[in-house]
Amino acid sequence: MTPEVFVQKKAAEAIKALYGAEIDAAQLQVSVTRKEFEGDYTLVVFPLLKISHSAPENTGNAIGEWLVANVPEIAGYNSVKGFLNLLFSTVYWNEMFAGMVADADFGQLAPTGRRIMVEFSSPNTNKPLHLGHIRNNLLGDSVSRLLKACGNEVIKATLVNDRGVHICKSMLAWQKCFDGATPESTGKKGDHLVGDCYVAFDKLYKAEVKELMDKGMSEDEAKKEAPSLKEAHEMLVKWEQGDKEVRDLWEMMNSWVFKGFDETYKALGISFDKVDYESQTYLLGKELVQKGLDMGVLEREADGSVWCDLTADGLDRKLVLRGDGTSVYITQDLGTAERRFAQYDLDSHVYVVGNEQDYHFQVLKLILKKLGFDWSDQIYHLSYGMVELPEGKMKSREGTVVDADDLIEKMYEEAKATSLESGKLADMPADEQEKLFHMIGLGALKYFIMKVDPKKTMLFNPKESIDFNGNTGPFIQYTHARICSILRKAEEKGLSYGAASVSSDIVPSAKEIRLIKMMGLFPEKVAEAGAALSPAVIANYAYDLAKEFNQYYHDTPILKESDGKVLAYRLTLIGTIARILVKAMGILGINLPERM
């Protein structure tokens, strides 16, 4: 029971005792007391005046007096105009603390019975994963963990974009420019090799466009008439016709990319429950197009193309089938959504996709709604901002992206250099050091990206993210390691602590009460983050808790405390902080070391 609910429940009892009125406790307005007033939680009295038939301050005083006299957890009150500020007793804080210590699942919310699919990553197989993909993957993975913590059953899904003209561009460049190169012959990861092919195609294409323009063509004409682009489109037609040579090349190059992706996903700690491939789903949705035509929701033009007119809804007309009968992206997305809701009996589907696709998802939901699918209201687009670097934006076709693998390696190197500089790892075995460097590097990367609200564009600075001070992953990791070090020393001294140490006769200090309050917020923060689909809420909560612990540690003796009961209480307190930090950072997919 949260403090707010506790106050609501007890205030409802007070109102019944004082005025003989039954009131729905959940309707009472309770919030954290503002800093300029003395108290912990505040009850808004104004709505109760029609029951008390008295002035606001008198009503507040009457309820406050009853609570202090009848509820041991309420130690005092002050009534300011229409607000009753309540001061909780140490009894309440120790009861709350004891409840956290005893609850192994503290922070895990009750089961909702809801099944939610979270779709993320969805990469193209013409290039390696890059920094933008990292934000997508980390958000998708963390939101999945977050929704699980909110009591939902979660299915992590991805739809790999493994076909299309962009894939054929890489295939064509490999044929023209790479002389049969393979990952084995070049020593390159397969996804990086295919990405090189994509960059090579762009260079070839631009050279052809320039040559055609030099011969007198306009830029638009040259871009359409470039031989390599025409060849790529011809290759796509052959692919769709099942041409063996093209299909064999496609399968070989895609296998290189899939293997490379798997290595990157493993390094990031990412996995999926369901993997679909566009090559297997791109024909889905055609039946829905016919259904839409039959319903009059869609209309066919003279050239055979099919459109959905959304102008009455404030949007444009949307193409859903080309004149030659081939699908567009929205066709596939319509069919895939229908299949997934039916196949998995979903209550909700969250798409983690960049904000450049906001309009696409508006259209997708609206067309599904017009086709009669009420579950379209349960489709959510987690629209996130782009990731930029100090040098500016990234461009895949020009080869100016930051590869995910290179970034992961850079984070490891930064973590290693920073950790060795501290000089605290001299007695740690080399293999443990290596694990630690990877843990710190990955924790720094994940936290730096996750602490920013998903909707915001963010600037990523690797060196800033690895700082052991400030709002960073390594700071929280170091805080956890510091607590573990204190607890190890306590165990070496034979000191015991735990639930039995939270006795009612211990009077916690103001700083300890503040820590208990902050720990008690964890379930609320999980619920808040889940409702907003924002891991940033959890990231910044973990930072605030770690920062508060460090201030407490600086000001309060723990192992030097002479009173055995107080010492055991404090050890239990910091042990519970460590446990909550592990749970909170676990939602972000970040591991916390016991030594640093």
Per-residue pLDDT averaged across 355-381, rounded?
Answer: 95
Distance CA 535, CA 138 (A): 10
pLDDT for the residue numbered 466: 82
Tokens of 595: 């030594």
Cα–Cα distance, 28 to 10 (Å, whole number): 11
Range among 237-251, 400-414, 460-474, 495-509 with highest mean pLDDT value: 237-251
Total tally of structural domains belonging to the chain: 3
Last residue within a domain, chosen from 245, 280, 315: 280
203 within a domain of the structure (yes/no): yes
pLDDT at 482: 96
pLDDT above 50 for 399: no
Q: What pLDDT is recorded for position 391? A: 63
> Measuring CA to CA, which residue among 376, 304, 367 is closest to residue 340?
376
Q: Which of 464, 504, 537 is nearest to 73 (CA)?
A: 504
- Nearest in space to 594 (alpha carbons), one of 447, 435, 465, 441: 435
Which strands make up the sheet holding 299-300, listed edge to edge? 299-300, 306-309, 317-321
Per-residue model confidence as pLDDT tens digits over 181-227: 999 999 999 999 999 999 999 999 999 999 999 999 999 999 999 99
- Tokens read off for 81: 């105009």
Residue 401 banded pLDDT, cuts 50, 70, 90: low
For 563, the 3-state DSSP assignment is coil
DSSP state of 34: P
Give the bridge partners for 459, in sequence order: 388
547 plus 440 within the same structural domain = yes
The reported pTM is: 0.89
| Residue 2 pLDDT level (bands cut at 50, 70, 90) | confident
| Cα–Cα distance list, 210 to 48, 478, 511 (Å) | 78, 55, 70
pLDDT one-digit tens code per residue, 524-581 = 999 999 999 999 999 999 999 999 999 999 999 899 999 999 999 999 999 999 999 9
Same domain, 424 and 571: yes
Residue whose pair of structure tokens reads 């192992």 in the numeric block: 559
Cα separation values, 376 from 36, 204, 365, 380, 562, Å? 47, 43, 5, 9, 63
Q: Are residues 176 and 84 both part of a single domain? A: no
Strand 274-277 relative to strand 299-300, pairing: unpaired
Q: Please tell me whether residues 83 and 203 are part of one structural domain.
A: no
pLDDT at 392: 52
Q: 422: exposed, middle or buried (C-beta count within 10 Å: 0-12, 13-18, 19+)?
A: exposed
Residues 411 and 531 in one domain: yes
Give the CATH number for residue 8: 3.30.1360.70
Asked, for residue 579, whether it belongs to a domain, the answer is yes
* Residue 396: pLDDT over 50: no
264 near 404, Cβ under 8 Å? Answer: yes
Q: What is the mean pLDDT of residues 507-522?
A: 94
Chain segment 50-96, per-residue pLDDT in tens: 999 999 999 999 999 999 999 999 999 999 989 999 999 998 999 99
Residue at 558 is within a domain: yes
Residue 360 has a CB neighbour count (10 Å cut-off) of: 16
Region of residue 113 (left: phi > 0; alpha: psi -120 to 50; beta: else): left
Q: Does 177 lie in the same domain as 45?
A: no
How far is the CA of 573 from the CAs of 90, 270, 493, 514, 549, in angstroms? Answer: 15, 33, 18, 11, 10
DSSP labels, 336-374: HHHHHHHHHT-SEEEEEEEGGGHHHHHHHHHHHHHTT-G
Same domain assignment for residues 83 and 195 = no
Distance of CA 483 to CAs 173, 200, 503, 538, 571, Å?
Answer: 55, 52, 22, 20, 9
User: Has residue 239 got a pLDDT over 50?
Assistant: yes
State the pLDDT at residue 153. 98
- Tell me 386's DSSP state: P
What phi and psi values does residue 437 have, to the nearest 5 degrees? -60, -40
Residue 237 near residue 103, CB atoms below 8 Å:
no
Burial of 158 (0-12, 13-18, 19+ CB in 10 A): buried
User: Could you give the residue ranges of the DSSP H alpha helices within 469-509?
Assistant: 473-492
Question: Average pLDDT of 354-358?
Answer: 93
Query: Could you tell me the CATH number of the domain that includes residue 440?
Result: 1.10.730.10
Please say if the pLDDT value at position 267 is more than 70.
yes
Is residue 496's pLDDT more than 90? Answer: no
Q: Are residues 197 and 58 in the same domain?
A: no
Mean predicted confidence (pLDDT) in 266-278: 94
455 belongs to a structural domain:
yes
Residues 547 and 476: their CA atoms lie apart, in Å, by 8
Final residue of a domain: which of 88, 118, 145?
88
CB 575 within 8 A of CB 483: yes
Does 141 reside within a domain? no
On whether the CB atoms of residues 25 and 16 are closer than 8 A, the answer is no
Sign of the torsion angle spanned by Cα atoms 31, 36, 40, 43: negative
Residue 453 resides in a domain: yes
Average confidence score pLDDT of the chain: 92
- Tell me, yes or no, whether 392 lies in a domain: no
- Tens-digit pLDDT profile for residues 23-49: 999 999 999 999 899 999 999 999 999
Residue 398 has pLDDT above 50, yes or no: no
- Given a cut of 50, whether residue 394 has pLDDT beyond it is no
pLDDT at residue 116 is higher than 60: yes
Please check whether residues 77 and 177 belong to one and the same domain. Answer: no
Closest CA to 231 of 213, 208, 255: 208
Between the alpha carbon of residue 467 and those of residues 134, 388, 411, the distances in Å are 20, 19, 11
Indicate if 67 and 211 belong to the same structural domain.
Answer: no
Q: Could you list the residue range(s) of the whole structural domain that residue 230 is in?
A: 164-280
Instruction: Give the CA radius of gyration of the chain.
Output: 30
d(CA 489, CA 468): 23
d(CA 50, CA 38): 27
Are residues 553 and 433 part of one domain?
yes
pLDDT value for 591:
97
pLDDT at 397: 45
Two tokens at 475?
Answer: 């700071």
Residue 124's CB is within 10 A of a number of other CB atoms, namely: 21
End of a domain among 280, 305, 325? Answer: 280
| One domain for residues 183 and 60 | no
DSSP for 183-219, written as a single string: HHHHT--HHHHHHHHHHHHHHHHHHHHHHHHHTT--H
Structural tokens at position 523: 């379930």
Mean pLDDT score, 270-292: 91
Sorting pLDDT into bands at 50, 70 and 90, what band is 400?
low
**In the chain, what is the straight-line distance between the N-terminal and C-terminal CA atoms, in Å?**
36
Cα torsion through 527, 528, 534, 537, rounded to 10: -110
427 pLDDT band (50/70/90 cuts)? confident
Q: Is residue 383 domain-resident?
A: no
* Token output for 394: 């990234």
